Structure 1
């Protein structure tokens, strides 16, 4: 549906430009847009590579393991159906650690791995388990302590204070996480009673 919406926007823009006799504007916009996309992509590749390297150093230094120990009691409470030493728990911890550091791109493979491992524990493969639903809610609205990608994009576009968004990001993502966890718990209780 969204693809059709974008298609209609592009076609209507081209038609309006043609009716007004400004077809040169289309070419200019396409070339300018491609230039900005390439520059932004290269900047983001550099930012993501840097922070993935930082994540590897943090992992080698034991920071990720420390974060995992810190999160373990919280995760045991949220995911009681997953055995503590199961690979799904490790993938969940890695995913949440990457999200905490604002590394959404690094969190995605760990999130996919976590879902794959949770599916192995699923007695009814055609339905999502409560743990899967909780993980999806938590992954979608995870607290971000350092929004590294956004800081990098702001720096890339010349922001005077690219890190000025840290406080508001922590507050907004903390609120989102609380709402996601509470809503998940309420829905779980509601559907258990049905």
Structure 2
């Protein structure tokens, strides 16, 4: 769907530029944008490589296990369905730590791994999977490293000025996400007996 959307936007822009006689400006804009994209990509590649390296060092040194244990109270509160020895807890902790640092790209591999570990193979998203997804969308950011890098790349006079507003906005979104998830978990618990009865009725009917 997104491919069609972006393709349509590009096509409409080219047709509009051709109709207005601005193809020269469009070509120049494309070249400048491509140059900016390469420069930004190199900057973000360096940032992501650095933080992924830090996380790998932490993993080999046992810091991630220590960090996961320290996050046990929070993980128990957010994911009551995941037992203490569940294999998804470590990648969840890494993902949350990366998101708090504003490293969305660095958080992605751990997030995918956590989802795979939580998948029960039933074809239905579990409560823990839904909670994890919503928390990723809200994404509390203590230090928005990526945003600061973007602002620095584009010549901001004060790249770190975004820290306060980002912390406030993501705190509000994360609080709303946690409240929503806890409400849905309660509703899901109430629905479990109903689902169980329906499964029993279907089994009896067969």
What TM-score, normalized to structure 1?
A: 0.86
Comparing 104-113 and 56-65, the one that deviates more: 56-65
Tell me the secondary structure at the aligned position of residue 12 of structure 1.
Answer: helix
The range that moved more, 146-155 or 13-22, is 13-22
Per-residue deviation, 1:114: 0.6
Using the alignment, how far apart are the partners of 2:88 and 2:103 within structure 1?
A: 19
Q: Distance in 2 between matches of 1:136 and 1:82?
A: 15
Q: Report deviation, 1:5.
A: 2.8
Q: What RMSD in Å do the two structures reach over aligned CA positions?
A: 2.2
User: In 2, are the aligned partners of 1:51 and 1:148 still within 8 Å (CA)?
Assistant: no
Matched, 1:96 2:96: yes
Instruction: Go from structure 1 to structure 2 and tell me whether the alpha carbon gap of 1:166 and 1:156 turns closer, same or farther (over 3 Å shift).
Output: same
Deviation of the 1:177 alpha carbon = 1.0
Which residue in the other structure is 1:15 paired with?
15
Residues 1:179 and 2:176 are matched in the alignment: yes
Q: Conserved in 1, the CA contact under 8 Å of 2:92 and 2:114?
A: yes
Residue 127 of structure 1, aligned match among 124, 128, 152: 124
Is the contact between residue 68 and residue 89 of structure 2 (CA under 8 Å) also seen in structure 1? no
Distance 1:103 1:86, change over 3 A: same
Corresponding residue number in structure 2 for 1:168: 165
**What SS class does the counterpart of residue 82 from structure 2 fall into?**
coil
Give the distance between the partners of 2:59 and 2:158, measured in 1 at CA: 29
Contact 1:67–1:97 under 8 Å retained in 2: no
1:157 to 138, 148, 154: 154
**TM-score, length basis structure 2:** 0.82
Q: Tell which has more relative contact order, 1 or 2 (C-alpha 8 A, sep 6+).
A: 1
Shift in Å, 1:22: 2.9
What is the alpha-carbon distance in structure 2 between the residues aligned to residue 51 and residue 113 of structure 1?
A: 18
Aligned length: 191
Q: Which has the larger radius of gyration?
A: 2
Aligned equivalents of 2:104, 2:138: Cα separation in 1: 11
Q: Is the alpha carbon distance of 1:128 and 1:158 closer, same or farther for their aligned partners in structure 2, counting shifts above 3 Å?
A: same
1:25 — aligned with what? Answer: 25
